[in-house]
Chains A and B, each alone.
Chain A
Amino acid sequence: MTELAKNTPETIRASLARRHRAETRFRCYGIAAISFGMLAVVVLLADITIKGHGAFRQTYVQLEVHYDPELLDIDDARDPAALLRGNFQAVVRAALRDRLGQVSGRVEHRAQNALVSNGAAYDLRERMRENPDLLGARETLWLAADDDIDTWFKSRGGEAFTGRISDRQMEWMRALEADGDVALRFNADFFTRGDSREPEQAGIGGAIMGSLLTLVVTLALSFPIGVAAAIYLEEFAPQNRWTDFIEVNINNLAAVPSIIFGLLGLAVFINFFEVPRSAPVLGGLVLTLMTLPTIIISSRAAIKAVPPSIREAALGVGASKMQTVLGHVLPLAMPGMLTGAIIGMAQALGETAPLLMIGMVAFIVDVPTGFTEPATVLPVQIFLWADSPERAFVEKTSGAIMVLLTFLIFMNALAVLLRKRLERRW
């Protein structure tokens, strides 16, 4: 009674104001939390984009190249052995000398030669392999600039990064630019080439191919097995210890750290079954085990969503249990299962840690073409480049991340679309 007696209109009004302030404060915490999350998204994406957008463009220098047979030391451009021996580096150097003038001293020579990527020589060789008539001819080409030059040229707008290039090189580049012989162009090599120690020659083509091969294996194994497991657990499993045990295991596997699956792959697949190291087939096996719980859980949800009336109708007209499930429940649950599979694949595409364990971190220059060839995948390529000391690799890494995120966004959008289009509501 004494407590109530104290509740005069004044005290209530005072406490009400206090309570409303608490309410406002609480609401502000909520807004702050949401803002923090949104800010994190924006900062993360903006940071990657700012760092990485340059990776899609590369500085090229226009030079007139003379395929001088004497310099090249090639008599017959149709002879592959002669082509391999040919000194294309000298041709590039001569072109630079002709364009920028003779310099004296080793340092200056080296500075001049370092303007253009040393991959340019390989490109010239490839051109001649395709067109042997080029021997002795002249042509004007855009050649990729060296990564230090490229970094400097791209960063000139703001705080120019001049750490690794000399004043003389800058002078040359300005002169070339004044004549319109330097340009930023779309970097197609970035998408088609394999890894390289030279940033301007490194591409994500090999990693994309490796990711693709790995995902094909993962999908081919995890989708059928996952769907079969879901069907069994939802439609056939008797209520006994074995099925309970399976359920507990699936739920736990979904939360086991991914690196543990790498240990499993190392101990079981590599050391026991002797699956070739670094191969997409091995990566696919490990990722299958990792994504199975995701696919099983979403497939079960899709099967659960099919109303019992469908089953009863099928059973009612004399279908067996198996016929009911495979002929009626499964097709109706398929869109939901596919959605789950795509989300599982997106998860597998972004996964890095278990693949480090099974040797997919090797430095691989060639674009893989088969399931048992050594390969690396996109996230691992990102990891490798992030470790590289060259400044130009920061840009490449961010560019690769942008490509990876684009794939992931595309896959998730596809899953959402599929769910909206095909999923039926009863």
Chain B
Amino acid sequence: MSPVNLIITLLLLSIVAHYLAHNRAEALARPLGGIRHLHSLPFYYGLRSALWCGLPALALLLLWMIFDDPLTRSLVLAGMPGDAVPESPAQRGLLLSTIVNVAEGALPPDGLSATVVEAAQRYQELRGLSTRIVSVAAFALALGGLAWGVRRISPQLRARQEVETVLRWLLLTSASIAIFTTLGILLSVLFESLRFFQSVPVTDFLFGLEWSPQMAIREGQVGSTGQFGAVPLFVGTLLISAIALLVAVPVGLMSAIYLGEYASPRVRNIAKPVLEILAGVPTVVYGFFAALTVAPFIRDLGMQLGLSVSSESALAAGLVMGVMIIPFVSSLTDDVITAVPRSLRDGSLAMGATRSETIKKVIMPAALPGIVGGVLLAASRAIGETMIVVMAAGLAANLTANPLETVTTITVQIVTLLVGDQEFDSPKTLAAFALGLMLFVTTLLLNVIALRVVKKYRERYD
């Protein structure tokens, strides 16, 4: 039975369990003089049985879905004659995928060795067997749970408490998924990065000045040993992010101040939603805009001024990224400015300060930690932004601070290294995970610092 059908059957069984238990609870209560003599409402007896019926079987099914495939594969490999199994893990993986493809009919078996065809048959048999076993086991568990759940019902059974405990655990599990996600991210990038650092020393990666991640396809190939010095990427990322922040911070800050302190309600009601459109536009749209409109415009402008501008200049990507971050900066600034107590403002105005003096000398100093936090968050967003740079920035890893030249960034390299087919063990793909680790750590640090600064500041006025 396919997993989907199995799940549907289990759900139906749970409904049956609910119904049976509900009826049984009512039947038990009738001679006693009504359901008020039961510990819990009949509904909870029903729910309790349904949970007993469904949850263990579903848990089993989940475990099976996770471990079934690796287990079958290793069994198939173990069943093959020793000399047919290659030593290296990569070749073993290749052999396995051939076997699986043959078994699933995606690959015609003709022309392959008899052992492979045999193994494919064995794979198919094992899969069928394990599906049958798990179907029967899940059914047995569900029926057992149902029988147990229904039979245990008595007027004294604390059904509601039991159900609520289970629900509480489910809620806690849902809340903990955030932790598992972080853990998953950390482990996946960390493991692959460690494997990468086995072939390329950490110092070479962090301080190397040359980036050309081409690995030799065959041995002894000329000029393709692969250089994994990530400094040009860091510099490129910083350059583009700096341009973006140069655009976004002044514009975002000033527009938040103007909308908050000067603008009439009418202007505010129009300008605020219009600026928020910028936050809702998908990044791929900005990328398209940067690559097809802004970059040629800047190139032409540069040509008229007699400058040579690359058609994938850092300036174009940075400018558009800055536009993207404007609403982010402005809404964060808005938050911290409105959090400054009214009394400070009134005090300053009462002393005869003009509005701009009040803003510059009273509100800004008071709001500064919050604004710094906002800028840090914006920086983390600029560093992690992918689509704009993938589409508008280049691939060439130039070590330069000239915004008119092409630079590449961490995210661009991650995408180019990982998009398309690739074997999973080469340093080239593993390098992407090392870059991902750098990106994760950097943005995590920025976020933690920013959130802490913002939080600390908020507490001061609450």
Contact = CB atoms under 8 A, between A and B. Distances in A.
Interface of A: 19-20, 22-23, 25-27, 29-34, 36-38, 40-41, 44-45, 47-48, 51, 224-226, 228-229, 231-233, 236-237, 243, 245-246, 249-253, 255-264, 266-268, 271, 273-274, 289, 292-293, 296, 320-322, 346, 349-353, 356-357, 361, 379-380, 382-383, 386-387, 394, 397-398, 401, 404-405, 408-409, 412
A256 B384 contact: yes
A398 B289 CA distance: 9
B178 A31 contact: no
Given A322-B164, A404-B282, 13 more contacts: A30-B258, A31-B258, A34-B254, A225-B174, A246-B176, A251-B451, A263-B436, A264-B188, A268-B188, A271-B424, A289-B181, A350-B283, A356-B418
Q: Is the interface of B mostly helix, strand, loop or mixed?
A: helix
Contact of B184 (A246, A268, A387): A268
Contacts of B447: 251-252, 255-256
B189 A41 contact: no
Interface in B277-313: 277-278, 280-289, 291-293
B90 interface: no
Contacts of B255: 30, 33-34, 37
Given A23-B355, A361-B419, A263 B171 contact: no
B274 A236 contact: no
B181 A36 contact: no
Contacts of A237: 175
A259 B386 contact: yes
B232 to A, nearest CB: 19
21 contacts: A22-B354, A22-B356, A23-B355, A31-B258, A33-B253, A33-B258, A37-B326, A44-B281, A47-B289, A232-B175, A252-B451, A253-B181, A256-B443, A259-B436, A260-B440, A263-B418, A379-B284, A386-B288, A386-B391, A401-B285, A408-B282
A425 to B, nearest CB: 19
A292 B326 contact: no
A351 B254 contact: no
Contact of B415 (A36, A51, A356, A405): A356
Contacts of A40: 278, 323, 326
Given A33-B254, A34-B259, A257-B439, A357 B419 contact: yes
Contacts of A257: 380-381, 383-386, 411, 439-440, 443
Nearest to A261: B185
Contacts of A233: 175
B439 A379 contact: no
Nearest to B330: A37
Interface centre among A237, A263, A350, A356 (most CB of B within 10 A): A263
A27 B261 CA distance: 10
Nearest to B168: A236
B414 interface: yes
Contacts of A249: 178-179, 181-182
Contacts of A38: 271, 274-275
B396 interface: no
Contacts of A27: 258, 262, 356
B170 interface: yes
Interface in B184-217: 184-185, 188-189, 191-192
A298 B191 CA distance: 33
Nearest to A416: B273
Given A32-B254, A236-B168, A352-B387, A260 B185 contact: yes
Contacts of B160: 320
B384 A259 contact: yes
B137 to A, nearest CB: 21
Contacts of A48: 285, 288-289
B251 interface: yes
Nearest to A254: B447
Given A382-B284, A412-B280, A232 B189 contact: no
B131 to A, nearest CB: 16
Contacts of B354: 19-20, 22-23
B76 interface: no
B432 to A, nearest CB: 7
B384 A292 contact: no
B439 A259 contact: yes
9 A-B pairs with least C-beta separation: A257-B384, A30-B258, A350-B282, A267-B188, A33-B254, A228-B174, A26-B356, A232-B171, A353-B386
Contacts of A401: 285, 288
B271 A229 contact: no
B20 interface: no
A43 B283 CA distance: 16
A266 to B, nearest CB: 7
Nearest to B268: A34
Contacts of B167: 322
A266 B433 CA distance: 10
B177 interface: yes
Contact of B436 (A260, A321, A382, A397): A260
A387 B284 CA distance: 12
Nearest to A228: B174
Given A33-B258, A228-B171, A379-B284, A356 B179 contact: no
Nearest to B382: A257
A223 to B, nearest CB: 11
B172 interface: yes
A352 B284 contact: yes
A38 B291 CA distance: 21
A114 to B, nearest CB: 26
Contacts of A45: 277
Contact of A23 (B188, B192, B285, B356): B356
A352 B411 contact: no
A296 B171 CA distance: 12
B257 interface: yes
Contacts of B330: 37
B462 to A, nearest CB: 15
Contacts of A356: 386, 390, 415, 418-419
Contacts of B419: 356-357, 361
A41 B275 contact: yes
A310 B192 CA distance: 51
Interface in B384-402: 384-387, 390-391
Nearest to B179: A249
B262 A346 contact: no
Contacts of A19: 354, 357
B351 interface: no
A16 to B, nearest CB: 9
Nearest to A354: B386
B444 interface: yes
Interface in B151-174: 160, 164, 167-168, 170-172, 174
